[in-house]
């Protein structure tokens, strides 16, 4: 994750500044505030700002009858209750803002979560850096035959070498052509005075999706946990999951009680349908149940059995 000297200097300056405040702060999150937390080969996640903490959630939940905070154990129980029963508005009282550097194809997945404020680096106005994502060997996998969105066995040997060769050559070539079409040096002067450069907004269009972009992404605690419940899940695509895993750690630093409840009820738990719950009750009663007579589709049955740690 190479950072330019200017970026490093800016981060060091931000982290060195001390500001007296009466607002709530999260000490553990303050430790990594502004720091570039590495993800993938050139990416990072930075926490830029935040508002509120676990106490803000509790305060919002209790405002209807004016009860103040009593003990941490009571706060934990209340936050567990709120997440367990799918309450949302108390968690919307907390907000966090990230600076994220990520491959364009990951960004196109990420942007489907429309419950955030986003401002992305513009290649209409600026020139993209020559930084592109190449998977590590253990993540270079074939298409799954059973899941159209999944991966299967890891490629190896000559097949893997050929894919890596194509990825690198294609990425290098499109950037070479991108820079040729721009006809613009780092100082803004034409590389070839004999011709005009193509507009930046057009020159960018042949860059591949593994090139890196950046954005500021601000969301509230409720929608952050919804994002993480999907993207930190074991079934999520590895590349976006790598970002989500880092963000789960920032959640722990920011709101440890909400993080604890999130792991217990969302990321580590499961939801049962009405039919699925009836099946669990029958199994607990010692009744044999088969998929054909369960009322579930084959896929729903497999998922239920997997969540229960039983073979299909």
What residue numbers bound the domain in which 98 lies? Answer: 1-130+212-269
Whether 105 and 2 share a structural domain: yes
200 catalytic, yes or no? no
Whether 80 and 228 share a structural domain: yes
Question: Phi, psi (5° rounding) for residue 34?
Answer: 75, -15
Q: Which contacts (CB < 8 Å, 24+ apart) does range 238-245 have?
A: 238/139, 238/151, 239/40, 239/103, 239/105, 239/106, 239/133, 239/135, 239/139, 240/106, 240/109, 240/110, 242/39, 242/40, 242/43, 243/39, 243/43, 243/45, 243/100, 243/102, 243/106, 243/110
The confidence band for 146, taking pLDDT boundaries of 50, 70 and 90, is low
| Predicted local distance difference test score (pLDDT) of residue 67 | 52
Within-domain flag for 238: yes
**Tally of domains within the chain:** 3
Q: Of the listed 231, 241, 253, 266, which one is catalytic?
A: 231
Within-domain flag for 250: yes
Dig out the tokens for 237 from the structure. 């695509």
The confidence band for 233, taking pLDDT boundaries of 50, 70 and 90, is very high
Dig out the tokens for 278 from the structure. 């009836």
110: left (phi over 0), alpha (psi -120 to 50) or beta: alpha
Whether 138 and 32 share a structural domain: no
Tell me the percentage of the chain whose pLDDT exceeds 70.
93
Whether 158 and 230 share a structural domain: no
User: pTM score, two decimals?
Assistant: 0.89
Whether 259 and 164 share a structural domain: no
Within-domain flag for 240: yes
Please state, as a whole number, how many other Cβ atoms lie within 10 Å of the Cβ of residue 85: 8
Within-domain flag for 312: no
Within-domain flag for 286: yes
Handedness of CA 216, 217, 219, 221 (dihedral sign): negative
Q: How far is C-alpha 80 from the geometric centre of its chain's CA atoms?
A: 23
Question: Rounded to an integer, what distance in angstroms lies between the CA atom of residue 114 and that of residue 233?
Answer: 19
Question: Rounded to an integer, what distance in angstroms lies between the CA atom of residue 84 and that of residue 239?
Answer: 29
Whether 112 and 225 share a structural domain: yes
Please state, as a whole number, how many other Cβ atoms lie within 10 Å of the Cβ of residue 232: 23
What mean pLDDT is predicted for residues 174-183? Answer: 90
Whether 152 and 238 share a structural domain: no
| Predicted local distance difference test score (pLDDT) of residue 14 | 85
The answer to whether 18 and 64 have CB atoms below 8 angstroms apart is no
Within-domain flag for 43: yes
């Amino acid at each position: 994750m190479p950072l330019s000297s200017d970026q490093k200097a800016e981060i060091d300056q931000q982290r060195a500044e001390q500001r007296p405040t009466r607002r709530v702060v999260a000490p553990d999150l303050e430790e990594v505030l502004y720091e570039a937390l590495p993800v993938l080969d050139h990416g990072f996640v930075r926490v830029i700002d935040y508002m509120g903490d676990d106490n803000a959630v509790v305060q919002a939940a209790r405002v209807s009858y004016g009860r103040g905070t009593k003990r941490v154990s009571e706060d934990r129980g209340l936050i567990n209750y709120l997440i367990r029963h799918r309450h949302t508005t108390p968690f919307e009282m907390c907000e966090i803002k990230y600076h994220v550097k990520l491959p364009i194809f990951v960004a196109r997945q990420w942007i489907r979560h429309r419950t955030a404020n986003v401002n992305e680096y513009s290649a209409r106005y600026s020139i993209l850096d020559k930084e592109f994502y190449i998977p590590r060997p253990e993540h270079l996998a074939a298409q799954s035959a059973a899941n159209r969105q999944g991966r299967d066995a890891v490629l190896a040997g000559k097949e893997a070498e050929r894919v890596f060769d194509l990825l690198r050559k294609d990425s290098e070539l499109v950037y070479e052509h991108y820079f040729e079409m721009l006809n613009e040096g780092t100082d803004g002067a034409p590389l070839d005075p004999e011709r005009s450069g193509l507009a930046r907004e057009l020159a960018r269009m042949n860059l591949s999706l593994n090139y890196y972009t950046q954005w500021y992404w601000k969301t509230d605690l409720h929608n952050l946990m919804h994002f993480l419940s999907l993207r930190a899940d074991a079934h999520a695509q590895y590349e976006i999951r790598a970002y989500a895993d880092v963000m789960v750690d920032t959640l722990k630093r920011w709101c440890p009680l909400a993080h604890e409840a999130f792991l217990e009820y969302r990321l580590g738990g499961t939801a049962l349908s009405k039919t699925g719950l009836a099946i669990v009750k029958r199994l607990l009663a010692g009744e044999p149940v088969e998929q054909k007579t369960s009322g579930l589709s084959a896929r729903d049955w497999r998922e239920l059995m997997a969540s229960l740690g039983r073979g299909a």
